[in-house]
Structure formats: structure tokens, C-alpha cells
Structure 1
Amino acid sequence: MTFDELRALFPSAQGCVHLNHAGTSPIAQPVADAVNAVTHDLMSDDPFLAYRNHMKRQETLRAAFGRMMGVPPSTLAFTRNTSHGLAIAADGIPFSAGDNVVVSGTEYPANVYPWMAQGHRGVETRLVPAREGGLVSEEDLVTACDDRTRVLAVSWVQWGTGQRMDLARLGAFCRERGILFVVDLVQGLGALRVDLSALRVDLAAAGCHKWLLAPGGLGVLYVRPGVLPLLRPTNIGWNSVVDSIDWDRIHFDLRPDSQRFEEGTPNLLGTAALHASVSLLEAVGFDAVEERILALAARIRGGLAARGYRVLSPDHPGARSGIVAFRHPTLPNDAVLAALTERRVIAAVRAGNVRFAPHAYNNEADVDAAMAALPS
């Protein structure tokens, strides 16, 4: 599938320039059609047809995520959102009183509150301050760890600046020290390629309403096989056990893989939508999607610099992402956002910056229109 063919599937692209995929993405027509197909099944004489179709669709989707994330499908569980996945991780880790968790002080709350919630177990959450411009130093994170650090938790891509973290360095450090490495993937998954196995990530979570181009309400959790026996499932339901549809047999043999965390009735509509959106991304090609997004982000950075705006997002290789954060030299962020909104350019103000986040169906004309809409 070409980028132009992908663009034609997004009704929103005909009426506005959407550059807020780091917030909430519009959905494509095939995604809406997939949801409607499930509702049609649910209105039929045999509504259980929707569940039978779901079971096949879910495993196809799990395999696609395995290809996207560089991990076996059996290591993946579907969740409600990023927060849900990180809460499963935080609540399930066998902490002891006096342990600590190291996180950046600029993390999105989804990757802070689940760790703070472990305070009742005597666990300290250490917030490491960012450096100038809101950028996070991997060295500062490493330095904050000690012999009681149980977890280092970071976002792959920082929500406020778009900084892509060096997961390879942090993963190697954690594995050497016996620290669990937990990653919030939500601001990169669907936009950037990742191989969690090679990066030595132990646990990772993401929601699907941003770069994965699906509606909210569904997420994915990765649990490294070596970590699975350590992680205590805190939400147990009928679907957590082997032979889960044999409802007449009561037993407590948990599934031997990450699917033990899929405790109950699945999200039929969300799975259908996500299956459709991931199929679109895979039809374009994950490598091509990343290349396109980074090229558009580079065009945005160049346009902003030419207009005298201050770009906060890092520009060196390895730290770039699809997010470009910036500020006007004198105008407040809200004034910049209002000017963009008036010209039907959809952006956001986050963490003290204006934020653009293009996707693969955007094009150079979209970027140029956004630049023209910026106040001087």
C-alpha cells in the first residue's frame, strides 16, 4: 500500500491537517467498517458468531504485534490501555520493603502512579529530574539506581519532548545489575521499529489510540518469559486458566504464558478495530512507516527553525521520534495553538510545549500548511 492510498482511507485528512497522533489519532474507514461488522454479528440470530470471529482475529493480531515488537506472540497479552499494562507489572512484581523504583521526573503519569501505589509495600519511587529543555539523561537514571533498585521504568519516547531513549544502554545496565527494565511504549509503537528481545526489556506496555491508529480502550502488554514466573497475577478471571472455555471444570492451572493476564470477556469492538489498523500499517510496511514519519518530523523541525521557533525535541540520530515539541519566542503556547486551530491544523500543548506529531498518511503539503498557519 502506498502512502497516498493510506491517506485516502482517512476521512479526516480531507478536512483538516491532523498532527496530534501523540494524543489521539483519527481512525481510517476500514477501522470503522471493522467495528460495524462486529456490531452486525452481535445483532444477528447468532451473536456468539462475534466471539468466534474474535478468537481467530485476536491470534492474528497477536502475531502481528509479535512481528512489530520482535517478540514471540505468546509473550503478549491484550489489556485495556497503557496504564492497565503498567499496573499489572507494578502490582505483580514481588517487592520488599526498602526496595525502590527509578523513573524520570518528566514521565507521563501512567508510568509514575502505578509505582507510587507500591508505597504501601514500603517501596520508594525515585523521580529523577530532567536536564535543561526537559531532556532526560540516561546517565542520571543509571546514577540514581543502587543495590535496592528493583525497577527502572522509562518511556521509550518522552511525551513532552519526543526524546527517544537509549533502550539498548538502559536494558544492558539493568540486565547486568538484576534490575527489572520496564518500558512505556505508547509514544513509539506504531511509529518506530523496536526489537524488545534485543533491547533486554523485561516488561512493556502500550495503548493503541495514538500511533497505532485505533480507538481507545485496548492495549498490549509484553512480559519476558524469564520474568513471567516472578509476576503475580493480581486480576484473575475465568480466562486466566488453561482450557478456559471448559467452564464445568473448576481448577487453578494458570495459562503458561502472558495470556493469563487476559482475565475475562474480551473487547470485541476494540480488537476488530485494532486488527484493521495494524493491518493497514503492515500493508504499508513498518520500516516505511518509520521512515515517512521521521522525514515529516524533520521537515517540521526545519520549518519551525526557519520561522524563528525554538525546537525542544532532540535532533541527533537515535533520539528523534515522530514528536516535535516547540515554542514561539514570545507568544504563549495557547495563542499558537489557537492560531493553528483556526486554520484547522490539529496540534496539542503538552508539558509546556506546543507539539506536532505527524503520521505516515500525512504528507509534505500538510506540513507546509501547518507552517503557514503558525503565527509569526
Structure 2
Amino acid sequence: MANSDGSTPDLATEFAQQDGLLYLNHAAVAPWPQRTQDAVTEFARQNVFIGARDYPRWLKVEQQLRERLAWLVGGVSSEEIALLKNTSEGLSVIAQGLEWQAGDQIIISDQEFPSNRIPWQALANQGVEVIEVNLEGDNPEQDVIDAMGPRTRLVSLSAVQYGTGLLMDMAPIGAACRARGTLFCVDAIQILGALPFSAEQVNADFVVADGHKWMLGPEGLALFYCRRAVQDQLILRQHGWHMVADPGNYTRKDWRPAATAKRFECGSPNMLGAHALNASLSLLQDTGMDAVADALQQRVQRLIAGLNDKGATLLSAPAPQRRAGIVTFRLPEEAPGDTFQRLKKGGVVCAERGGGVRFSPHFYTADSVIDQALELL
């Protein structure tokens, strides 16, 4: 793991959490690195003492963020990246932007977080049908493909399911969609920042993800990737000064949408969030996503081995090719809610999800944090 200058990130300094805190909840809201606090503090200081005098410099930070997000999504063009408020907004831009016909079908899974279910269900008044595919079979990817038919207009799936942590192989699904002319949307909030990902390799038309989980950033700022070739298929439902081709010309009466994904950003940017997320992504970029993934998988395996020793029932798939950073389990003869409360009293930050207790470490999580959490079981 090396910084861009060749030095190694000091993870103990970057994540100096308080004593007694056992943080295993990155699949919900992650702590910030120290460099992110520094970036926000400096941004606040500038606002206090000089206001927006150096706004052009802030715009460079925003552009750097777009480039880092483009890198995180597999090296796409930064012009295909929009900065939206959250995953739900990004999915809603797609849902409300496409022209639907009565009888159109959308395929999702039966394990989706509400963000990737409600925007599609809200189209029922237009005659759009949502089909939920069960993912508990031996080949969930093929089950999704088999559910596709002549009326399937879009497939929208989470790359990693939030409850069980199931990691989907998105490539064959994306290939099937592309071959049939079906749009493919990836909810990537549980994979970006945890594992390497490529929008182009999985043939994604859209990728949406908020930055507050594995990307280690703040809530309120999300990646929205729209493949250039399908950009014009989305009707713009939100308009404002920021989404036009010439946003600096305030007196111009005639206007047209920006030719880039900025057309989906109707108003002033979340510049505070941009400074924060840009700093957080710099740590992932300095470390390298392959190194991040390797370190995370070591911690996941340590958790799985410890849970097996405790006699826990693993609700997450044990196979390495089926897991990202989520480990969900339950203990025999104890309700998950009771296990969760007991862990909470012991200083463990985790979640009750997917019918059990969900642990989600990150690449920097100390072995001692994992071992102490296991001891509490």
C-alpha cells in the first residue's frame, strides 16, 4: 500500500478511533479518515476568513473528485460522472427520466434495499411491472437472466446485497442485457471502495452509489455514472442554472443541457461534501483498490473463522467469490436483536440486518477490533 509519492499511508493515524470503540459498520455509515477531517476543517476555515474568494480553486477540487470517481468505476470518462445527493436520487433520475410504456418490466432482486425498489415500484401508475428475482439459488445470475423477457426494459441490481452481503457476478447479467438491448443499472453502494469494480467490464449503463459507506466519505454526495451512449434516453425532470451548457452566462436566454453528465446536476454543488469525499477517495487511491480488497478479505476471513469457532450460523455466503465486506450471522438460541444489543453494550458498532447481525469491517480494521468483537459472543 503506497501513497502517490511512494510513501505508505499511516492507517493508525488516518483512523484514530476512540478507545473501546469496535467499529464494524462500514456497510451503513463509515468513519472518516483523518485527512478528510483536515480537508473539511480547512474548507471551513477558508469560508470563515475569506469566504468564496478562491472559488476557482474549489472547482478544481470538484473536478479532481469527478476524476477519482471515474477511476473508482473502472477508468470511465469523468464527463460521464454526475454528483448527486444520494443513491435514491440517482435511481429516481433514471426511473423518472425514461419514457415508459404500459407493460414494460423492470427486474430487481428480492433482497434489495428500498432505494433500489421504491423508485421502480412508483412507476406502477404508468403500467410498469417490477419483477423480483429470488437470489437463493445456486446460480442467481442465471436466474436473473432467465427472468428477462421481451418486455424487460431495465435490470437494476445491487452488486452486493446489503443484508446477506451476497456478491453478484454482474458481468454475465450485463452481457445479457447488452445483447438484448435492455438497460442495466448497478446499485454499487456496497462495492465501491470495498472491491475493484469496472462499469465497462460489466456493461453497466448506469452506476449509482452514495459516498458514506466503503468510500469513507460524508452522507449527501453520490456518484451517478451514465454511459454516454444512453445519456439522451433520460428526459431531464430537474432544471436550473448549473445543468446547462454555458452555466457561467447568467443573462443568456436560450440554453441547452450540458453535453456531459453535468446535465443531471440542476443547481449549486455540495462543495463541502466534494472536499470531504475527494479527500477520502485519495486514501483509497493512494492505497490501491487491489490492496484494499486483499486487506478487507483477510479481515472478513478472520471474522468467518471466528464465528465458526463460536458455533454461529453464517447467513452470508462463505465462498470467497460470493463476498465483499459484509458478514451476517446469528447465534444458536439467541435472537439477533438480543445479540445486537449485547454487542452494542460492549462497544461494537454493527447492525441488525438480513435476519441476523451484520459485521462490516474495512481494510484498515485492526485484528484486535475483530478479536474483541468475537470475544463478546
TM (norm. structure 1) is: 0.95
Q: Which amino acid aligns with 1:63?
A: E
Query: Superposition pairs for residues 1-376 of structure 1, below 5 Å?
Result: 5-12=10-17, 14-45=19-50, 47-49=51-53, 51-70=55-74, 71-131=76-136, 137-374=140-377
**Cα displacement (A) at 1:315:** 2.2
**Cα displacement (A) at 1:54:** 2.2
Gaps of 5+ in 1: none
Contact 1:42 1:48 in 2 (8 A): yes
More divergent stretch after superposition (328-337 vs 2-11): 2-11
Separation (CA, whole Å) in 2 of partners of 1:317 and 1:359: 16
Separation (CA, whole Å) in 1 of partners of 2:352 and 2:55: 40
**Cα displacement (A) at 1:137:** 1.7
Q: Name the SS of the counterpart of 1:188 in structure 2.
A: coil
| Deviation by residue 1:44-97 (Cα, 9 ceiling, x = unmatched) | 34x223632321001111111111111111111011011111111111112111
Separation (CA, whole Å) in 1 of partners of 2:57 and 2:132: 45
| Deviation by residue 1:330-360 (Cα, 9 ceiling, x = unmatched) | 1011121122122212111012121011111
Separation (CA, whole Å) in 2 of partners of 1:230 and 1:5: 45
**Cα displacement (A) at 1:120:** 2.2
Q: Name the SS of the counterpart of 1:259 in structure 2.
A: helix
Contact 1:77 1:262 in 2 (8 A): yes
TM (norm. structure 2) is: 0.94
More divergent stretch after superposition (72-81 vs 336-345): 336-345
Residues 181 and 372 from structure 1, CA distance in 2 versus in 1: closer, same or farther, beyond 3 angstroms?
same
Residues 4 and 276 from structure 1, CA distance in 2 versus in 1: closer, same or farther, beyond 3 angstroms?
closer
What is the aligned length? 371
Contact 2:9 2:286 in 1 (8 A): no
Contact 1:86 1:111 in 2 (8 A): yes
| Deviation by residue 1:243-274 (Cα, 9 ceiling, x = unmatched) | 20111112222111111111110101111110
Q: Name the SS of the counterpart of 2:100 in structure 1.
A: coil
Separation (CA, whole Å) in 2 of partners of 1:50 and 1:329: 59
Residues 121 and 27 from structure 1, CA distance in 2 versus in 1: closer, same or farther, beyond 3 angstroms?
same
Q: Name the SS of the counterpart of 2:283 in structure 1.
A: helix
Q: Which amino acid aligns with 2:85?
A: R
Separation (CA, whole Å) in 2 of partners of 1:19 and 1:281: 18
Q: Which amino acid aligns with 1:88?
A: V
Q: Name the SS of the counterpart of 1:150 in structure 2.
A: strand
Contact 2:102 2:126 in 1 (8 A): yes
Contact 2:299 2:367 in 1 (8 A): yes
Separation (CA, whole Å) in 1 of partners of 2:320 and 2:26: 21
Let me know the Cα RMSD of the aligned residues: 1.7
Separation (CA, whole Å) in 1 of partners of 2:310 and 2:253: 67
Residues 175 and 84 from structure 1, CA distance in 2 versus in 1: closer, same or farther, beyond 3 angstroms?
same
Q: Which amino acid aligns with 2:260?
A: D
Gaps of 5+ in 2: 3-7
| Deviation by residue 1:155-180 (Cα, 9 ceiling, x = unmatched) | 00000011111100110111111111
Separation (CA, whole Å) in 2 of partners of 1:357 and 1:104: 22
Separation (CA, whole Å) in 1 of partners of 2:48 and 2:349: 36
